[in-house]
Structures are given as C-alpha cells and as structure tokens.
Structure 1
Amino acid sequence: MDTTLLSLYLKTATQSLHDRVEEKMNAKKIFTPFYTVEDYKQLIWQNYLFFSHFEEAVFNSFSPPLRTALQLPLRKKLPYLVADLEVLGLTASGTASYTDTCSEATAMGILYVMEGSTLGGNVIKKRLTSLPAFTDIYFNFFGCYQENTGPFWTQFKEVLDTRFTTDQYEEVYRGAVKAYDYMAAH
C-alpha cells in the first residue's frame, strides 16, 4: 500500500500540468520588468473563467462535514475576481458552468488547483506590487486570504491528506487533471 500523502502525490503527479498552465498564462513574464497591466488583465480573466466554471459545482459537491472542515464559505474566490475585473475596466460575463455530477474526491482534485492558485497568488501579488505600473491596483483575488494564506493552505492539505483514502487518490487526481485541462484550454 502506498503511504505517500495525497498532497505530495498530487504535487508530483500534476507537475507537468501545472507547468503547462503556467506557460499558457505567461507566468515567467511576471518576473520580468516587461509584465504589463494588459498581461495582468488577461491573467485575471483566465482565472475568472476557471472559477466561474467550477466554483459553485465543486463547493456543492462536498458533504456538510467536509464543508465545515474546509471552511468553504471562506474559500469562495469568484467575488474577488469579479471585483478585480471591475477595477480593471472589464465586465464579468456569463460562462458555461460545470454541470457534470462531481464526487467529493473529484471536487477535491479541482479544489486542489483552486487553492494552489491562491497560494501562488501571494507570490504574484508581491512581485507585481513592486512594478510601477501596478501601484494603483488593488489585488482582490491574489490577496484574498492575506496573512492567512499559509494557514489556509496548511488546513486544506490536512483535510486532503486525512479525509481521502489511497483508493481515492486516482479520482482526486482526475479532478485535478480536469481543472488543469480546463485552464490550459481557456
């Protein structure tokens, strides 16, 4: 029996997918002096498409005990993305929501990608606030957890690592793949 923690399994198993999405989103450019507000608008738009597609269906897939353990109401990010779009002069428009039935394990894999984007968002926010073009921009989405980003990630990993059995790892993995594939395609 594999005793690898699910969080470590997902990190290793999805690394190439994560890298593909970062490349599509032009993440390396963020760490150059050439990243622009237009680049940032595209990044926020891509995240908006992703969260508007999955967030409601994923959150509704969890049982009440898992919702409580994850503190789901505190993890909603779509309102932050809508606020960022408005600040950037963009309009949030309807997208096709995820309509497949989603097991808790699949939902957890998708949530793994959602929560990972928040963790990475701290690094993005720190970098962009150092660029002169971003001095007047408030980072609602990338700063949504503020000083609680680390503790929220730790709590998420604890739930991930303790609530799912090794026979569910592949289903959680497939959920993460579904999320990464969606991000790579939009």
Structure 2
Amino acid sequence: MPPISSSEILTHLRQETRPYHDALEQNSFNQALSAGHVSQEATVHFLRRLYGFLAPYEEQLRRHQPEFSDEWELSARYRAPLLLADLAAVSAEAPPLCPELPPLHTRAQLLGAMYVLEGSTLGGQVITRQLAKAGIPLQRYFNGYGELTGPRWKTFCRLLTEESSHLSHAEISQSAVRTFQLLYAWINQP
C-alpha cells in the first residue's frame, strides 16, 4: 500500500475507524435517545461511563500539554469537568475510572486518540437537542464547546493534517481504532 499523504490523513482516519465509530454509536444510550425513550437514569449511567474514560485520558493529555503549541487550545479542550458538573447536578456518585486506555506515549498516539474524542464533540450537539426535547437537563458535556464546536474541530483537523506530514500515519490510525475499541468496551459494561 502506498504511503498516505498528509492531505489524505482525515479521509484515511474516517475509513479506518468507520466500523468502530458505527459500533460505538449503536450503544443502548444512543439507541434509546434516537427512539425518544431515553431516561435520566440512562443518561447518568452513560455520563458516568464517559467520565471514567475521559478523565484518565485527559490526565495523560495534560502530561503532554507542554509539547503542544497554544494553537491547539488544549486547556479549553478538557471536558471531564463538564461531565462532573452534570453528574453533580443529580447527586450521582463518583464514577469508576477505566483501567485500560490506549497507549498515549507518542505524538502520533495522542493525535489518534484526540481524533476520536474531539470528533465526539460534533455528535454531542445533536444529543444536546435530543436531551432538551426529552426534558433531561444533563447537557453540559454534550454541549461541549457550544458555538465554538465547529471552529475547534476545523482547527484540530488542520493541525492534525499539518503534523501528520512527519508522523506515522499507521500509528495515528491504530491509536484512533484502539481508542474507539476501548471506549466501546468501557461504555458497554453494565
């Protein structure tokens, strides 16, 4: 297979992760939400699982923050506190933390995982509207960056494309796939 050019990295990532992205979207919370039958209890369970994955991921990302330029806006991209705020609003107990994260040691691995977790902000906008329709007020996390969601995603994609010219595209893709796989396994635990 010929090497992937930097301009093709996003297309390649979408293709490589599509099955895992689709599987993750088919979890019971999303199915109930799509059918208009989501409950606050199911939303709290889903938020707790997300926190359990996102908090340790963000802790790893913070360790690497000095390696990122200000243009990445990493400090604005930490969303675990939004999950905690949603959970505190309903007095939910502290969520368990996921014991297995994808490897996040190299820049390529970090960017692969970031592709998955930053991409989730786009779907969050849709979920926010559906939760509002259902009268469930737990929307801080899903609202994410609000009106900045699109611009932040575009900035992320541009920076990923620029950096991918000197990184292993295979390592970026493997990290994105592994992130989807581990997140799926964690979310779908009872």
Q: TM-score, normalised by structure 1?
A: 0.87
Q: Aligned-pair distance for 1:51?
A: 0.3
Q: Measure, in 2, the Cα distance between the counterparts of 1:167 and 1:97.
A: 24
In structure 1, which of residues 60, 75, 78 is the aligned counterpart of residue 77 of structure 2? 75
Counterpart of 1:161, as a letter, is T
Q: Which structure 2 residues correspond to residues 171-186 of structure 1 after superposition, within 5 A?
A: 171-186=171-186
- Residue 143 of structure 1, CA deviation: 1.2
Q: Which residue of 1 aligns with 2:156?
A: 156
2:102, 2:179 within 8 Å by CA — same for their partners in 1? no
Q: Give the counterpart of 1:2 among 1, 4, 8.
A: 4
- Is the Cα–Cα contact under 8 Å of residues 58 and 102 in structure 1 kept in the other structure? no
Question: Runs (4+) of structure 1 moved beyond 2 Å?
Answer: 1-5, 58-64, 91-101
Contact 2:131 2:139 in 1 (8 A): no
Looking at structure 2, the residues matched to 158 and 173 of structure 1 have their Cα atoms a distance apart, in angstroms, of 16
1:88 aligns with 2:73: no
Which of residues 112, 128, 132 is equivalent to 2:131? 128
Measure the CA separation in 2 of the matches of 1:115 and 1:103.
Answer: 18
CA distance in 1, matches of 2:185, 2:96: 17
Q: Which amino acid aligns with 1:114?
A: L
- State the secondary structure of the residue aligned to 1:10: helix
Root mean square deviation, CA, Å: 2.1
Aligned amino acid, residue 125 of structure 1: T
Question: What is the rounded CA distance, in whole Å, between the counterparts of 2:56 and 2:178 in structure 1?
Answer: 12
Structure 1 residues 122, 101: CA separation in 2 closer, same or farther (over 3 Å shift)? closer
Residue 71 of structure 1, CA deviation: 0.8
Distance 1:99 1:150, change over 3 A: closer
CA distance in 1, matches of 2:95, 2:40: 20
Cα drift, residue 174 of structure 1: 1.4
CA distance in structure 2 between the partners assigned to 1:62 and 1:52 by the alignment = 15
Gaps of 5+ in 2: none
Q: Is the 8 A contact 2:112 2:174 kept in 1?
A: yes
Stretch of structure 1 that moved more, 113-122 or 163-172: 163-172
Distance in 1 of aligned mates of 2:155 and 2:38: 33
Q: Which has the higher helix share?
A: 2
Quote the sequence identity (%): 25
Residue 44 of structure 2 is matched in structure 1 by 41
Matched, 1:53 2:66: no
- Structure 1 unaligned blocks of 5 or more: none
